[in-house]
Chains A and B, each alone.
Chain A
Amino acid sequence: MKIAISGKGGSGKTTISATLTRLIARRGLSVLAIDGDPNPNLIQALGLGPGVEAEAVPRSVVERREDEAGKTRHVLTSSVSEIVGRYGLKAPDGVTVLVGTKVDHAGAG
């Protein structure tokens, strides 16, 4: 199950994402939380202490490839478990968190 949470800045989106993540994990499921916000604070909202930071997943984990039809596709250059192992942080209730963005939007694609 893949859930995305959207809302205006300041709406409580991150607190809601983090709390929902912890609650789903408490129901016995393995949950990967992804911080797609350019000002990441999901890590703290999940209960990792102040000052804990994750290394953002770099652009290099995705490669652009063209298929036979000439359509550009993005493919991962390593497996999700490798990405999670390298960049993921463990949060309470067995949650894993990845920080997916820390970019200036001028160069974001």
Chain B
Amino acid sequence: MRSIVGEIVNSSDGVTVMDMEASIEHLSRGTLRYVDALLVVLEPYYRSMETAGRTVPLARGLGIERIYGVANKLRSPEDAEAVEAYCRNHDLELIARIPFDENVVEADRVGRAVIDYDAASPIVEELSRAADFLLREVRVGGNGAGRN
């Protein structure tokens, strides 16, 4: 099944965004060999960062050059600092610092996308910057250059 996703990603021309399986043992060549950038979501908790700590070397071993951190559910400056320290120590560029966003919970409760629930939500604003970054840094300079 992983190779199905990998082959579709490989063969499609436009932008593809892949929501990966949670368990890192499924980070296989089949799915990831064509990926231009891997985003690793980090919550400011030990176990979340520990998972990332195993994901990043694995992904680097698969030859993915662009690996970025996305910090999520930050509730305090201390949370932000914990994730930033982790990223500094692991040579991981942090491209989004998303605060804990009540709108995510509310949007889910009413069955809507958070961007439709409130486009001014902090998560939307922060990911908007991340989208610009990716289009500038990866789309232009990535393996997919010229192919979208």
Contact = CB atoms under 8 A, between A and B. Distances in A.
The judgment on whether A and B are partners is yes
Interface of A: 1-9, 11-24, 27, 29-38, 42, 44-47, 49-50, 57, 59, 61-62, 74-76, 79-80, 83-84, 92, 98, 100-101, 103, 108-109
Interface string B44-79: 000110011001000100000000001011000000
B142 A1 contact: yes
Contact of B18 (A27, A34, A61, A79): A34
Nearest to B145: A1
Indicate the size class of the contact surface on chain B: 35 or more
- The majority secondary structure among interface residues of chain A is mixed
Interface in B26-49: 27, 30-32, 34-43, 47-48
A24 B5 contact: no
Interface of B: 1-9, 11-22, 24, 27, 30-32, 34-43, 47-48, 51-52, 55, 59, 70, 72-73, 98, 104, 108, 111-116, 123-124, 127-128, 130-132, 134-135, 138-139, 142-144, 148
Given A32-B15, A49-B111, A75 B39 contact: no
Given A8-B47, A16-B72, A74 B19 contact: no
B20 A13 contact: yes
A6 B112 contact: no
B22 A30 contact: no
- Most chain B beta-carbon contacts within 10 A, residue among A16, A31, A84: A16
A72 to B, nearest CB: 10
Contacts of A50: 111
A108 B17 CA distance: 22
Contacts of A109: 1-3
A22 B21 contact: no
A42 B34 CA distance: 21
Contact of A34 (B16, B32, B98, B111): B16
Given A100-B5, A103-B1, A6 B20 contact: yes
Contact of A17 (B2, B9, B17, B59): B17
